[in-house]
DNA sequence: AGTTTGACGCTCC
DNA sequence: CGGAGCGCCAAAC
């Protein structure tokens, strides 16, 4: 049996690049779509790697399963993420949460 | 080689 | 609906 390929950051980046503007995906969803279920934390690690770097990766479209921006306690990237999302039409409620029923990305349905 | 550490997620209560 | 607890998995100690 050929052992399954190990997850690499690039596998996750590839999925994230497909998320359409105005929609968000969860860490677990990205991991699963990349072919690595239960690697949600690893997706977070992959994004941590890009913190500060300017890339064409729409990293702001990845939030946790509760529809919240995961805190990382550094600089003001949390607020930056929120501004970027609001800029593309994603709405936050009074508890700073996104209604996933409305904004979660569905590959099959959203293209 | 054992332990700790997370941009996480699900179940219980 | 919010918090606690536990599972998860690779990287860093």
Report pLDDT digits (tens) over A61-107: 999 999 999 998 777 899 999 999 999 999 999 999 999 999 999 99
Query: If you average pLDDT over every residue of chain A, what do you get?
Result: 93
Chain A window 36-65, residues with Cβ within 7 A of nucleic strand C: 38-42, 45
- Among protein residues, the one whose C-alpha sits closest to the C1' atom of B10 is A65
SS3 content of chain A, % helix, strand, coil (to 5): 40, 5, 55
pTM over 0.75: yes
Q: Can you tell me the distance from the alpha carbon of A30 to that of A89, in angstroms, rounded to the nearest whole number?
A: 21
Closest nucleotide relative to residue A66's CA, C1' based: B9
DSSP run (H or E) holding A25: strand A25-26
Strand B atom within 7 Å of A59 CB: yes
Rounded to whole angstroms, what are the CA distances from A53 to A10, A14, A18? 15, 17, 19
Q: Can you tell me the distance from the alpha carbon of A60 to that of A21, in angstroms, rounded to the nearest whole number?
A: 10
Distance A1 CA to B7 C1' (A): 34
Q: Average the pLDDT over A14-32 and give the result.
A: 98
Closest nucleotide relative to residue A73's CA, C1' based: B7
Rg, Å, chain A Cα set = 14
Question: Would you state the pLDDT for residue A57?
Answer: 96
Question: Does residue A1 surpass a pLDDT of 60?
Answer: no
- For strand C, the positions having any atom within 7 A of a protein Cβ are 2, 7-11
Q: Residue A13 burial (CB < 10 Å; 0-12/13-18/19+)?
A: buried
């Amino acid at each position: 049996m050929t052992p399954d390929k190990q997850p690499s950051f690039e596998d996750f980046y590839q999925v994230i690049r497909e998320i359409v503007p105005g929609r968000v995906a969860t860490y677990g969803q990205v991991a699963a779509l990349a072919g690595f279920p239960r690697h949600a934390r690893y997706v977070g690690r992959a994004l941590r790697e890009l913190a500060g770097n300017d890339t064409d990766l729409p990293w702001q479209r990845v939030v946790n399963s509760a529809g919240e921006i995961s805190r990382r306690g550094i600089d003001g990237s949390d607020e930056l993420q929120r501004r970027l999302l609001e800029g593309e039409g994603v709405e936050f409620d009074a508890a700073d949460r996104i209604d996933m029923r409305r904004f979660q990305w569905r590959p099959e349905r959203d293209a």
